[in-house]
Protein backbone atom coordinates (compact mmCIF):
# COMPACT_ATOMS: atom_id res chain seq x y z
CA UNK A 1 0.00 0.00 0.00
CA UNK A 2 0.82 3.74 0.08
CA UNK A 3 1.89 4.08 -3.54
CA UNK A 4 2.50 7.50 -5.05
CA UNK A 5 3.04 8.05 -8.75
CA UNK A 6 4.41 10.99 -10.68
CA UNK A 7 4.13 11.86 -14.34
CA UNK A 8 6.17 12.47 -16.35
CA UNK A 9 9.32 10.84 -15.00
CA UNK A 10 11.51 12.93 -17.23
CA UNK A 11 10.91 16.06 -19.28
CA UNK A 12 13.10 18.21 -21.47
CA UNK A 13 11.75 21.58 -22.54
CA UNK A 14 12.87 24.83 -24.06
CA UNK A 15 13.44 27.93 -21.98
CA UNK A 16 10.26 29.96 -21.58
CA UNK A 17 7.81 27.08 -21.77
CA UNK A 18 5.64 25.77 -18.95
CA UNK A 19 5.77 22.24 -17.61
CA UNK A 20 3.11 20.46 -15.58
CA UNK A 21 3.96 17.60 -13.23
CA UNK A 22 1.27 15.35 -11.78
CA UNK A 23 1.41 13.58 -8.44
CA UNK A 24 -1.14 10.90 -7.61
CA UNK A 25 -1.76 8.79 -4.54
CA UNK A 26 -2.87 5.47 -6.02
CA UNK A 27 -4.24 3.53 -3.07
CA UNK A 28 -5.07 6.13 -0.45
CA UNK A 29 -6.56 9.57 -0.14
CA UNK A 30 -3.94 12.19 0.59
CA UNK A 31 -5.11 15.08 2.72
CA UNK A 32 -1.75 16.72 2.27
CA UNK A 33 0.80 16.55 -0.50
CA UNK A 34 4.24 18.06 -0.51
CA UNK A 35 6.51 19.23 -3.31
CA UNK A 36 10.29 19.04 -3.00
CA UNK A 37 13.17 19.95 -5.24
CA UNK A 38 16.59 18.34 -5.15
CA UNK A 39 19.70 19.51 -6.98
CA UNK A 40 22.49 17.00 -7.69
CA UNK A 41 24.24 15.84 -4.54
CA UNK A 42 22.18 18.25 -2.44
CA UNK A 43 19.53 17.81 0.21
CA UNK A 44 15.80 17.68 -0.34
CA UNK A 45 14.31 21.15 -0.27
CA UNK A 46 10.63 21.56 0.58
CA UNK A 47 8.99 23.91 -1.88
CA UNK A 48 5.38 23.89 -0.76
CA UNK A 49 2.69 22.10 1.19
CA UNK A 50 -0.57 21.44 -0.59
CA UNK A 51 -3.87 20.72 1.14
CA UNK A 52 -6.83 19.49 -0.86
CA UNK A 53 -9.23 22.27 -1.74
CA UNK A 54 -7.12 25.11 -0.41
CA UNK A 55 -4.21 27.23 -1.53
CA UNK A 56 -0.73 25.84 -1.20
CA UNK A 57 1.64 27.12 1.44
CA UNK A 58 4.99 28.02 -0.08
CA UNK A 59 8.33 27.96 1.69
CA UNK A 60 10.34 31.13 1.97
CA UNK A 61 12.11 31.95 -1.25
CA UNK A 62 9.85 29.87 -3.48
CA UNK A 63 7.99 31.99 -6.01
CA UNK A 64 4.31 31.06 -5.93
CA UNK A 65 3.67 32.67 -9.31
CA UNK A 66 6.38 30.59 -10.90
CA UNK A 67 5.57 27.28 -9.25
CA UNK A 68 1.80 26.88 -9.46
CA UNK A 69 0.36 24.15 -7.30
CA UNK A 70 -3.16 22.77 -7.56
CA UNK A 71 -4.57 20.11 -5.26
CA UNK A 72 -8.03 19.65 -6.72
CA UNK A 73 -8.78 16.20 -5.34
CA UNK A 74 -7.68 13.91 -2.54
CA UNK A 75 -5.57 11.87 -4.95
CA UNK A 76 -4.07 14.44 -7.31
CA UNK A 77 -1.80 17.43 -6.98
CA UNK A 78 -0.10 19.21 -9.85
CA UNK A 79 2.97 21.43 -9.99
CA UNK A 80 3.34 23.73 -12.98
CA UNK A 81 6.69 25.34 -13.57
CA UNK A 82 5.85 28.46 -15.55
CA UNK A 83 8.26 30.13 -17.96
CA UNK A 84 10.94 27.61 -17.13
CA UNK A 85 14.59 28.60 -17.30
CA UNK A 86 17.76 26.50 -17.19
CA UNK A 87 18.20 27.24 -13.48
CA UNK A 88 14.88 25.46 -12.86
CA UNK A 89 16.43 22.21 -14.07
CA UNK A 90 16.22 19.88 -11.11
CA UNK A 91 14.69 16.72 -9.68
CA UNK A 92 11.15 17.45 -8.50
CA UNK A 93 9.66 15.00 -6.03
CA UNK A 94 6.21 14.91 -4.50
CA UNK A 95 5.10 13.12 -1.38
CA UNK A 96 1.68 12.35 0.03
CA UNK A 97 0.41 11.93 3.57
CA UNK A 98 -2.45 9.55 4.37
CA UNK A 99 -5.02 10.84 6.88
CA UNK A 100 -4.27 10.19 10.53
CA UNK A 101 -0.53 9.87 10.06
CA UNK A 102 2.45 12.11 9.58
CA UNK A 103 4.23 9.60 7.39
CA UNK A 104 5.09 10.83 3.91
CA UNK A 105 5.30 8.50 0.94
CA UNK A 106 7.31 9.76 -1.98
CA UNK A 107 6.64 9.58 -5.67
CA UNK A 108 9.43 8.45 -8.00
CA UNK A 109 10.30 12.01 -8.99
CA UNK A 110 10.40 14.03 -12.20
CA UNK A 111 13.68 15.07 -13.71
CA UNK A 112 13.28 18.42 -15.47
CA UNK A 113 15.86 19.70 -17.92
CA UNK A 114 15.36 23.16 -19.37
CA UNK A 115 17.44 23.93 -22.42
CA UNK B 1 15.86 26.98 14.19
CA UNK B 2 14.64 23.42 14.50
CA UNK B 3 17.25 21.10 13.06
CA UNK B 4 18.05 17.51 12.27
CA UNK B 5 21.73 16.63 12.16
CA UNK B 6 23.41 13.67 10.52
CA UNK B 7 27.01 12.88 9.67
CA UNK B 8 27.32 13.22 5.92
CA UNK B 9 29.73 10.32 5.63
CA UNK B 10 30.61 8.50 3.59
CA UNK B 11 30.32 5.64 6.02
CA UNK B 12 32.05 2.57 4.67
CA UNK B 13 31.42 -0.89 6.10
CA UNK B 14 32.40 -4.33 4.82
CA UNK B 15 29.72 -6.67 3.55
CA UNK B 16 28.13 -8.60 6.40
CA UNK B 17 28.98 -6.01 9.05
CA UNK B 18 26.60 -3.83 11.04
CA UNK B 19 26.13 -0.30 9.74
CA UNK B 20 25.19 2.27 12.37
CA UNK B 21 23.63 5.54 11.28
CA UNK B 22 22.99 8.33 13.75
CA UNK B 23 20.75 11.37 13.91
CA UNK B 24 20.15 14.09 16.47
CA UNK B 25 17.31 16.58 16.54
CA UNK B 26 16.82 19.87 18.29
CA UNK B 27 13.07 19.95 19.03
CA UNK B 28 12.52 18.25 22.36
CA UNK B 29 8.78 17.71 21.82
CA UNK B 30 9.08 15.92 18.47
CA UNK B 31 6.94 12.79 18.39
CA UNK B 32 7.51 11.04 15.07
CA UNK B 33 10.76 9.88 13.53
CA UNK B 34 11.48 8.31 10.16
CA UNK B 35 14.32 6.77 8.22
CA UNK B 36 14.30 6.98 4.44
CA UNK B 37 16.72 5.40 1.97
CA UNK B 38 17.60 7.23 -1.21
CA UNK B 39 19.53 5.61 -4.01
CA UNK B 40 21.45 7.88 -6.34
CA UNK B 41 19.09 9.46 -8.84
CA UNK B 42 15.99 8.08 -7.14
CA UNK B 43 13.42 9.42 -4.71
CA UNK B 44 13.41 8.61 -0.97
CA UNK B 45 11.87 5.33 0.15
CA UNK B 46 10.49 4.87 3.66
CA UNK B 47 12.36 2.23 5.64
CA UNK B 48 11.05 2.67 9.16
CA UNK B 49 9.11 4.90 11.46
CA UNK B 50 9.46 5.03 15.23
CA UNK B 51 7.42 6.88 17.81
CA UNK B 52 8.36 5.46 21.24
CA UNK B 53 11.60 5.21 23.14
CA UNK B 54 13.47 1.98 22.60
CA UNK B 55 14.11 -0.29 19.67
CA UNK B 56 11.97 -1.23 16.72
CA UNK B 57 13.07 -4.07 14.49
CA UNK B 58 12.06 -4.86 10.91
CA UNK B 59 14.10 -7.55 9.24
CA UNK B 60 17.72 -6.46 9.08
CA UNK B 61 16.85 -2.94 10.20
CA UNK B 62 16.56 -1.70 13.77
CA UNK B 63 15.58 1.84 14.66
CA UNK B 64 16.48 3.14 18.10
CA UNK B 65 14.97 6.20 19.73
CA UNK B 66 16.08 8.04 22.85
CA UNK B 67 13.94 11.10 23.36
CA UNK B 68 15.81 12.23 26.48
CA UNK B 69 19.01 12.45 24.45
CA UNK B 70 17.17 13.62 21.33
CA UNK B 71 18.81 10.88 19.37
CA UNK B 72 17.58 8.37 16.81
CA UNK B 73 19.65 5.75 15.07
CA UNK B 74 19.34 3.07 12.41
CA UNK B 75 21.24 -0.19 12.54
CA UNK B 76 21.57 -2.35 9.45
CA UNK B 77 22.64 -5.90 10.22
CA UNK B 78 24.38 -8.13 7.68
CA UNK B 79 24.98 -5.16 5.40
CA UNK B 80 24.78 -5.87 1.69
CA UNK B 81 26.19 -3.94 -1.26
CA UNK B 82 22.57 -3.19 -2.21
CA UNK B 83 22.27 -1.20 1.03
CA UNK B 84 24.70 1.36 -0.39
CA UNK B 85 22.64 4.55 -0.51
CA UNK B 86 22.06 7.81 1.29
CA UNK B 87 19.99 7.45 4.46
CA UNK B 88 17.80 10.36 5.47
CA UNK B 89 16.59 10.93 9.00
CA UNK B 90 13.31 12.85 9.22
CA UNK B 91 11.48 14.29 12.20
CA UNK B 92 7.97 15.65 12.55
CA UNK B 93 8.68 18.84 14.47
CA UNK B 94 6.13 20.39 16.79
CA UNK B 95 4.44 23.48 15.44
CA UNK B 96 5.53 22.73 11.91
CA UNK B 97 1.97 22.65 10.72
CA UNK B 98 0.55 20.52 7.95
CA UNK B 99 2.62 17.55 9.15
CA UNK B 100 5.83 18.78 7.58
CA UNK B 101 8.93 16.70 8.12
CA UNK B 102 12.35 18.18 8.78
CA UNK B 103 15.03 16.16 7.01
CA UNK B 104 18.67 15.76 7.83
CA UNK B 105 21.14 16.12 5.00
CA UNK B 106 21.65 12.39 4.89
CA UNK B 107 24.46 9.94 5.52
CA UNK B 108 25.97 8.20 2.53
CA UNK B 109 26.60 4.52 3.23
CA UNK B 110 28.93 2.37 1.16
CA UNK B 111 28.96 -1.38 1.73
CA UNK B 112 32.19 -2.83 0.40
CA UNK B 113 31.96 -6.37 -1.06
Mean pLDDT of B40-52: 96
Give the H or E element holding residue A22.
Answer: strand A19-25
pLDDT tens column, A52-101: 888 899 999 999 999 999 988 999 999 999 999 999 999 999 999 988 88
Is B92–A93 a contact, with Cβ atoms under 8 angstroms apart? Answer: no
pLDDT tens column, B54-71: 999 999 999 999 999 999
pLDDT tens column, A26-42: 999 998 999 999 998 88
User: What is the reported pLDDT for B97?
Assistant: 59
pLDDT tens column, B67-109: 999 999 999 999 999 999 999 999 987 655 568 899 999 999 9
User: What is the reported pLDDT for B93?
Assistant: 74
pLDDT tens column, A52-63: 888 899 999 999
| Of B41, B40, B83, the residue nearest B59 (C-alpha) | B83
User: What is the reported pLDDT for B94?
Assistant: 63
Instruction: Give the Cα separation of A92 and A79 in Å (integer).
Output: 9
Is B105–A103 a contact, with Cβ atoms under 8 angstroms apart? Answer: no
Say yes or no to pLDDT of A49 above 70. Answer: yes
Residues in A closer than 8 angstroms to B32, CB to CB, are 102-103
Give B51's contacts (C-beta < 8 A, 6+ positions apart): B31, B32, B33, B65
Residues in A closer than 8 angstroms to B106, CB to CB, are 43
| Of A93, A106, A22, A35, the residue nearest B34 (C-alpha) | A106
Instruction: Give the Cα separation of A102 and A31 in Å (integer).
Output: 11
Mean pLDDT of A104-108: 97
User: What is the reported pLDDT for B95?
Assistant: 58
Give the H or E element holding residue B40.
Answer: none
Query: From residue A35, how far is each of A32, A59, A110, B40, B90 by CA, in Å?
Result: 10, 10, 11, 19, 16
Is A51–B98 a contact, with Cβ atoms under 8 angstroms apart? Answer: yes
Band of residue B35 on the pLDDT scale cut at 50, 70, 90 = very high
Query: From residue B21, how far is each of A58, B6, B8, B50 by CA, in Å?
Result: 31, 8, 10, 15
Spacing of C-alpha B100 from chain mean position: 17
User: What is the reported pLDDT for A101?
Assistant: 86
Beta-sheet strand order (sheet of A76-81): A4-7, A19-25, A76-81, A67-73
pLDDT tens column, B6-29: 988 899 999 999 999 999 999 888
Is B88–A97 a contact, with Cβ atoms under 8 angstroms apart? Answer: no
Amino acid sequence: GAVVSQHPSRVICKSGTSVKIECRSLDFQATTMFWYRQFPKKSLMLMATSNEGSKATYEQGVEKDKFLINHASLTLSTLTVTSAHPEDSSFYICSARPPGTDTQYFGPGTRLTVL
Amino acid sequence: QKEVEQNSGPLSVPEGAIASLNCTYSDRVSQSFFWYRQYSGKSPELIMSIYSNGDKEDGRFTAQLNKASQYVSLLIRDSQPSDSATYLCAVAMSGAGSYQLTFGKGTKLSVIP
